[in-house]
Amino acid sequence: MDIEKNPATDSGAVAESKDDTDSFTVVKSKKTQKRKHEEDGAGMDTQEPVASKRPQFPPISGDQLRTRCVRFPFPLTDTPLKENWLKIFTPIVENLQLQVRFNLKTRNVEIKTCKETQDIGSLTKASDFVKAFVLGFQVEDALALIRLDELFLETFDITDVKPLKGDHLSRAIGRIAGKGGKTKFTIENVTKTRIVLADTKVHILGSFQNIKMARTAICNLILGSPPSKVYGNIRVVASRTAERF
């Protein structure tokens, strides 16, 4: 009962197995790929590193004209600016060596450098000076931004501290101002700052540490603290800072 093997079928099976082996691709393991990358990287490290050139920028001089614009609020009239224009114009032109004008069409105070400008940073001082006047500070107080370096402007909204509306918002503004402005003047004198209340906006002019003390006192008043407690707290903080320096 021997079964005869067909040689034709055997040869066909061998041919199919060869075709299957040819159709499969050899997949390299991750270790071999990683080793190959390391060898390539080692070969690349043998090359001399190319020295990168540092970019060299020319120093900024007054010959390169730069312009800064300060927007004048639309609802306000130009009368305060016209009345104090000579006080604003003189320190910007004579002390900072800049050019300034008020554009009636765009309602912008435009400041730009010229050939006589020695320090490019004076452009920032002049724009801060004009911005302080536009926000409501007196010209004499705003002049300190030109004379001193470590003075800043900070603005925040009363509703950022506590979301108040209607009569509650009016009472918060009244607590900050006080009767006849007494509370505001006391905070200014103790913290050596200048404060402007414009609707729900509070603008503070002073050094960094003094602005921090004034802002803390105003925030406590907004949150409902009595003025007597706020006075005591800022006096204690002011005396401690005076002892440090």
pLDDT of 69 over the 90 cut:
no
Sheet with 201-206, edge to edge strand ranges: 152-157, 201-206, 194-198
Tokens of residue 17, six digits: 């197995």
State the total domains in the chain.
2
pLDDT for 73 equals: 62
Residue finishing a domain among 137, 172, 191: 137
Q: Is residue 32 part of a domain?
A: no
- Give the domain extent around 103: 67-137
Tokens of residue 228, six digits: 């007597």
Assess whether 157 and 132 both reside in one domain.
Answer: no
Band of the pLDDT at 196, cuts 50, 70, 90? very high
Q: Is residue 28 part of a domain?
A: no
Assess whether 132 and 215 both reside in one domain.
Answer: no
Q: What whole-number distance in Å separates Cα of residue 195 and Cα of residue 83?
A: 22
Q: Is residue 125 part of a domain?
A: yes
Q: What whole-number distance in Å separates Cα of residue 219 and Cα of residue 80?
A: 30
Which residues lie closer than 8 Å to 125 by C-beta, 6 or more apart? 96, 145, 146
Q: What whole-number distance in Å separates Cα of residue 132 and Cα of residue 100?
A: 16
Determine how β-strand 99-103 pairs with β-strand 201-206. unpaired
Which residues lie closer than 8 Å to 146 by C-beta, 6 or more apart? 91, 95, 96, 125, 126, 129
Pure H helices in the chain: 7-23, 30-45, 79-83, 85-90, 122-135, 139-142, 144-147, 158-161, 167-177, 182-191, 208-222, 227-244
Q: Are 129 and 91 in contact (CB under 8 A)?
A: yes
Band of the pLDDT at 45, cuts 50, 70, 90? very low
Q: How far is CA 61 from CA 54, 65, 99, 121, 161, in A?
A: 21, 9, 15, 11, 43
Tokens of residue 135, six digits: 């926000």
Assess whether 93 and 164 both reside in one domain.
Answer: no
Percent of the chain at pLDDT exceeding 90: 27
Q: Model confidence over 125-173: pLDDT tens digits?
A: 999 999 999 888 999 999 999 988 889 999 999 999 999 888 999 999 9
Q: What is the DSSP letter of 72?
A: P
Q: What is the CATH number of the domain that holds 120?
A: 3.30.1370.10
Assess whether 166 and 199 both reside in one domain.
Answer: yes
pLDDT for 27 equals: 57
Q: Is residue 142 part of a domain?
A: no
Q: What whole-number distance in Å separates Cα of residue 202 and Cα of residue 211?
A: 12
Band of the pLDDT at 58, cuts 50, 70, 90? low
Confidence (pTM): 0.67
Farthest CA pair distance, the chain: 129
